[in-house]
Amino acid sequence: MAKSDYNRERKPSNRAAGSDKRKQFSKGKPPRKKVAPQKPSNPDEIRLNKYVANAGVCSRREADTYIAAGSVSVNGKVISEMGYKVKRTDDVRFDGRKLNPEKKEYILLNKPKNFITTTNDEKGRRTVMELISSATNSRLLPVGRLDRNTTGLLLFTNDGDMTKKLTHPTHGVRKIYHAYLDKNLALSDLRKIEEGLELEDGLVKVDDISYIQGSPKKEIGIEIHSGRNRIVRRIFEHLGYTVTKLDRVIFAGLTKKDLPRGHWRPLTEQEVINLGMIK
């Protein structure tokens, strides 16, 4: 039998008979896989580990460990479930201490002249808040004050505990100013400032004072931890000098290095740790 005759006489295969169980697809797009609809996220909810991390307790990874160990409670109930979500209005506690879900932020500004250290001004004058408006959406507040004509380092944060620590004189936070006077400071007056001066609101003592090396004797470096209003200017005014320029160059160990006037930067993780170690 010829080969062609053999092919014609073959019985139809199962495929030809339509019994092939494999699905036949027409040319074109491949079949679409059915995807289960995703449940929309609730903007009012946040994962518990993120809540704990934002409160400044630890990192998210460490928070998972603490959650699993039963250290975190929500509305009075211990939660050990991974991925558990809470609302910002929930009462979340870590080892019994209530947490604030807002992420702690710290912004350092090199303040220029002619800006008021306040959140708003009734007279419409420019405030330091304008200078950091692009830094964050969180509501930050300045730590302490610099008067309108004083330049230099100013810290902003939403960390209330840190603010209290850095502004209370008992913690002795280091602040160094570069003061420019209208005339040379006599050595005898420098000694008086070293010994302490009695101002109208009480005795004031500086931590250190010296002439700026290599500069005229009208340029003075002064270290002080008092937070009294205009205290550096008043010290010199008490002795008959006028401060023509005042610049805060160091605040709580933070410096102006690589931070131009009018610019800001977030603190590094190490800088935040250093601030937290202040006794």
Active-site residue (options: 20, 95, 147, 208): 147
Please state whether beta strands 202-204 and 197-199 pair in parallel, antiparallel, or not at all (unpaired): antiparallel
Residue indicated by tokens 């073959």? 10
Identity of residue 37 = P
* Burial class, 193, CB count within 10 angstroms (exposed 0-12 / middle 13-18 / buried 19+): buried
In angstroms, the CA 51 to CA 85 distance is 9
Catalytic site includes residue 207:
no
Contacts of 262 (CB under 8 A, 6+ apart): 110, 111, 112, 131
Is the distance from CB of 238 to CB of 192 less than 8 angstroms?
no
| Residues tagged active-site | 147
